[in-house]
Amino acid sequence: MEDHLKNGASRIDKAQKSISIPGREEIIAILNKILEEDFEIDPSILKPEASLRDDLDLDSLDGVDLVVAIEKKFRFRVDEEEARSIRTLNDIYESVDRRLRQIAEEQP
The catalytic position among 3, 59, 91, 97 is 59
Distance CA 54, CA 6 (A): 57
| Cα(82)–Cα(84) distance, integer angstroms | 5
Collapsing DSSP to helix, strand or coil, 51 comes out as strand
Tell me how far apart the alpha carbons of residues 95 and 51 are, in angstroms, rounded to a whole number. 15
The question of whether 59 is a catalytic residue gets the answer yes
- Give the angle 72-78-83 at the CA atoms, nearest 5°: 125
CB contact at 8 A, 96 and 34? no
Catalytic residues: 59
